[in-house]
Every structure is written in structure tokens, then in C-alpha cells.
Structure 1
Amino acid sequence: MARVGLVRPIVAALAVLVTTNMSARAEEASDYPTSARAEYVFGCMKANGETRQAIEQCSCSIDVVASLVPYERYVTAETVLSMSQVKGNLAGQFRSSEQAANALNDLRRAQAEAEVRCF
């Protein structure tokens, strides 16, 4: 009978630990805002056809990218991509920055991994 009294607090403590760990992982997995995920999926679908299969593949793709590249790094890479389309001195600074190039390389590697896993 005394053992039953000890088991309940231990089980309750384990349940709290598991729940805390799971919610921490969920926060890590969803650190990309919904709008950024939606924008990625819309662009991906434009490039890959606007079909139900494309929705599945593109949704998978952003999940893979988000698991490999922190959101701040993703924003840097997206900014570099946007600025690379602008002509002039300011855009050249974005293209020649080592930090920008590294962020862009990280994104491209993550997208290549997403291509392998999702398409």
C-alpha cells in the first residue's frame, strides 16, 4: 500500500516532465510565423503547380527548412534573395557580404534536403 502512495507522485512528476519537453519541442518546431510558412508554400506551389500534391509537398518542404534553419537565418537569406534582384550599390553589398552568403547557402542546403525528402 505504501508503494502505491509513492508511485502516484512519481508518475505525476514524469507526466509533467514529458508534457514540458513536448511543448518545448512544439515551440521549437513552430518558431516560423504562420505568415512566413504560408508565403513559402504559396511561392513553392507557383513553382511546382497548384495541385493538391503540390500543397502536400510544399508544406513538407517548409517543415524541413524550418527544422534545419533558424527563423532569423531564414529571414536573412530571404532578404538577400530579395536584394539580389535590385540593381545598384546597396544590392551589391548584400550579395558580397560573407554573412549573407552563408545564410543563403544554409537556406539552399535546407531546400535541397527538403527536395529530397518531400518531392
Structure 2
Amino acid sequence: MMREALSALAIAAAAVPASGQSVSERLNDYPTEARADYVFGCMAVNGQSRAVLGKCACSIDLIASILPYDKYVQAETVLSLQQVGGEHTAMFKSAAMPRTMVADLRRAQAEAEMLCF
């Protein structure tokens, strides 16, 4: 299963770079803290084993290969604002742009889950 994920990562790396960045820059634009935060959250949900650590690390690496970090941050921000009540956050629940951002993140997460878990 891990070989399949690494193969998918290699295929994603061969994709055309986005926004003028090299493939290497695009794959490494997630700060270590963001990757670690994702892995900690993933392990909290899926278990605290060495095997799960590898799967969660694979997952964030694959997400990073699909979604640039700035898009990831935007989608995560929208998701957190959607969980807050009140009229000030209503636009994040109904506007098309936030829905698109979140949908892109959800697609990347789904692909990572299929390939890494």
C-alpha cells in the first residue's frame, strides 16, 4: 500500500508546476509545523501506532503534492470558521468560493486516504 502511495506521489510530482514554482518547491511548501500538526491530528483519529504514523505522513505528503500550501491554509480557515456560529461567519457557510476551497481540500484528503490507508 505504501508503494502505491509513493508511486502516486511520483506521478503527482511529474505534474506541471503551479504558479511558476518548481515541482520541488511546490512539494516542499508546507512548513514542518503544518505537516506535524496534520500528522498529530491524523494519529489522534486513527491510532497511535508506528504504522499509522507512516500512513498519516504519507497522507499529508500526498495532500501537499495536490494542493499548494496557501490553498490548504485557506480551506482549513474556512472549515474552522464554518464551525463557529453567528452572523459574522455566515458568508463562509454559503458563498461559492469557500465551498470550492473546501471541496478541493476534501478531494485531496480523499485521494490521500485511498492511497495511504
Task: Indicate the TM-score class for this superposition, using the shorter chain for normalisation.
Answer: 0.7 to 0.9
Letter in 1 for 2:26: E
Q: Percent identity?
A: 53
Any residues of structure 2 matched to 1:105-116 within 5 Å, and which?
105-116=103-114
Any residues of structure 2 matched to 1:38-117 within 5 Å, and which?
38-117=36-115
Letter in 1 for 2:52: A
The separation in 2 between residues aligned to 1:81 and 1:28, in whole angstroms, is: 23
The separation in 1 between residues aligned to 2:23 and 2:110, in whole angstroms, is: 24
Structure 1 residue ranges (4+ consecutive) displaced by more than 3 angstroms after TM superposition: none
Structure 1: stretches of 5+ with no match in the other structure = 1-23
- 1:77 is displaced (CA, Å) by 0.7
Tell me the TM-score normalized by structure 2. 0.78
- 1:25 is displaced (CA, Å) by 3.1
The separation in 2 between residues aligned to 1:70 and 1:90, in whole angstroms, is: 27
Aligned Cα root-mean-square deviation (Å): 1.0
Structure 2: stretches of 5+ with no match in the other structure = 1-21
Q: Which has the larger radius of gyration?
A: 1
